[in-house]
Amino acid sequence: MPNSEPPGTAWVPSPPVGTVYDDLAAWVRAKAASGSALVRPGGWQFATLDPATSRRAAVLVLFGVRDGAEPPADATGPGREDLDILFLMRSASLSNHPGQVAFPGGAIDPGDADEGAAALREAQEETGLDPAGVDIVGMLPEVGLPVSNFLVTPVVAWWTEQSPVHAVDAAESEAVFRCPVGLLLDPDHRRTAVVRRDGFVSRTPAFVTPDAVIWGFTALLLDAMFDGLGWTRPWDRSQEIPAPL
C-alpha cells in the first residue's frame, strides 16, 4: 500500500464559508449537544465494557481536500466528493485489533489538554502529520469499545494545510492512506462484514477500498457519521463478506 503524500494541486483552502465544512461543523455541534449516542448499541460487540476499569481514548477523523480535486467554479469551496479521510492500518503484531484499518488515535494521556489534543498528538506520532495544519471541528459523543475496554471520543477535524504522512513506526502501523469520501459513499463499495466466533455472530458495515477493507469499529463510526450528515446513499446490507481477520 502506498504512503500518502500531500496533493500536487495548490488548491488547499482554509475552512470555507457556506459549504460542506459548515454542514460538517453544524452536525458535529448538534450531535454533541443532543446527548444521544453516536453508534446504536447492537450485536456487533463480543464483550461488555467495564466502566470501572475502562480507559479514555480519542481518534482523529481528518477530512482533507483530495489530490486532484478541482477548485469549484462558483468559489463556494469543496463539496463532499472533493474530500478524503485519513486512515492507517494497524500492525498485525498488535494485541488489540491487529491488521485492522483505524483512524489515527490512542489513549488520552494525563498531559493532554483534551480529547482533541490527544488525537492530534497520536496522529502526529503515528502518521507524521503537522498538527499546526489541522483545524479541530468538534468532538462527537464517546463510543464504547469493549474488546479493548476503551471509551473513544471521535475528534472531527479539517486539514487546512496538508503535510506528508507515512507509517512512522512499523511496530504500530503497517501503512497510512487517504480514501476519497466519494468512494466510501459509493454503494458498490459497501458491504456487511461478518465475524463468527464461539457461536456469536457480529455484523458491522464495511467499506471495500483499493487499500483495504474498512470494517468493525472504524466502519461503524463512518457509517454513523455519513447517516447523521445525510450523505449515505442506499446500499444493500444483505451483501455479506467475511471480516478480514
- CATH code for the domain of 33: 3.90.79.10
pLDDT value at position 5? 45
Residue 17: pLDDT above 80?
Answer: no
Ranges 9-23, 76-90, 166-180, 227-241, most confident: 227-241
pLDDT value at position 98? 66
Residue 14 lies in a domain: no
The domain total for the chain is 1
Residue 26 lies in a domain: yes
Distance from the first to the final alpha carbon of the chain: 18
pLDDT value at position 11? 41
Q: What backbone torsions phi and psi does residue 154 show, to the nearest 5 degrees?
A: -75, 125
pLDDT value at position 85? 98
Residue 5 lies in a domain: no
Residue 155: pLDDT above 50?
Answer: yes
pLDDT value at position 106? 93
What 3-state class would DSSP assign to 151?
Answer: strand
Q: Per-residue confidence at 8, pLDDT binned at 50, 70, 90? A: very low
pLDDT digits (tens, 9 = 90+) for 69-126: 776 666 667 889 999 999 999 886 665 666 789 999 999 999 999 999 999 999 999 9
13 touches 123 (CB < 8 A)? no
Q: Per-residue confidence at 147, pLDDT binned at 50, 70, 90? A: confident
Residue type (1 letter), 19: T
Residue 107 lies in a domain: yes
CA distance 14 to 37: 30
What 3-state class would DSSP assign to 26?
Answer: helix
Mean pLDDT of the chain: 87
pLDDT digits (tens, 9 = 90+) for 172-184: 889 999 999 999 9
Which of 59, 79, 63 minimizes the C-alpha distance to 71? 79
* Stretch among 37-46, 65-74, 156-165 having the lowest mean pLDDT: 37-46
Q: Which domain holds residue 160?
A: 20-242
What 3-state class would DSSP assign to 57?
Answer: strand
Residue 166 lies in a domain: yes
Q: What is the mean pLDDT of residues 199-214?
A: 92
Residue 9 lies in a domain: no
pLDDT value at position 230? 95
pLDDT digits (tens, 9 = 90+) for 19-28: 899 999 999 9
pLDDT value at position 91? 80
In the chain, % helix, strand, coil (3-state, to 5) comes to: 25, 30, 45
Q: Alpha-carbon dihedral of residues 184, 186, 191, 193, nearest 10 degrees?
A: 0
Residue 203 lies in a domain: yes
CA distance 207 to 203: 13
* Three cell numbers written together for 141: 459523543
